[in-house]
Amino acid sequence: MVAHVGTVAFQGIDALAVDVQVQLASGLLAFTVVGLPDKAVAESRERVRGALGAIGLALPPKRITVNLAPADMPKEGSHYDLPIALGLLLAMDVLPVDELAEYNAVGELSLDGALTPVAGVLPAAMAAQAQGRGLICPAEQGGEAAWAGELRVLAPSNLLALINHFKGSQVLPQPQPELADERGVLLDLVDIKGQ
């Protein structure tokens, strides 16, 4: 069985559709990512493995192949972590295929299973809306994704909360559009000494 999860690749400000295909097959143990991934995408193997281990799931002792289609388009960034992890969860029959097929996903996974912010959530949300799909993104960016208009946004803080949502034991609320907090500590030239 090949599991499919939708995501995007960024070319400038355009978000182009990418199909993350995950296959579990018998053979020598391996975890391979193909489809012109850069170093950050190739390293997602270890982040995904750590995140799944943190929530108590071990990768099956099989040959895992992840194809980022179309294969001739370069893939850059850590936002492929979440779609790869979701593809593995689909292939392992942890998540329902029919519900997840209605969403695109972007997000970086930390080793403890938390979702951390990534660049390009608003263009990814606009691309998902154009495809008639929803978007799964990190909790800190749910308000940003909601600006794309009428689309379903799931913004979990960690991978376990997302699994629980699809299993029906937890409900993730629809985030509301919100502006980034621009208040912060600004540097003052008075603080510079010795120049």
Convert 113-129 to b/e letters by CB count within 10 Å (16 or more is b): bbbbebebbbbbbbbbb
- Mean local confidence (pLDDT), 96-102: 93
Domain count across the chain:
1
Range of the domain at 109: 2-191
* 3 state DSSP class of 62: coil
Query: Counting every residue, how long is the chain?
Result: 195
115 beta partners = 109
Count of CB atoms situated within 10 Å of the CB of 91:
23
CA distance 185 to 195: 21
Q: Interhelix angle for 44-54 vs 81-91, to 10°?
A: 60
CA separation for the pair 112, 62 (Å, rounded): 23
pLDDT tens-digit series, residues 113-145:
999 999 999 999 999 999 999 999 999 999 999
pLDDT tens digits for range 34-76: 999 999 999 999 999 999 999 999 999 999 999 999 999 999 9
Q: CATH number of the domain at 137, please.
A: 3.30.230.10
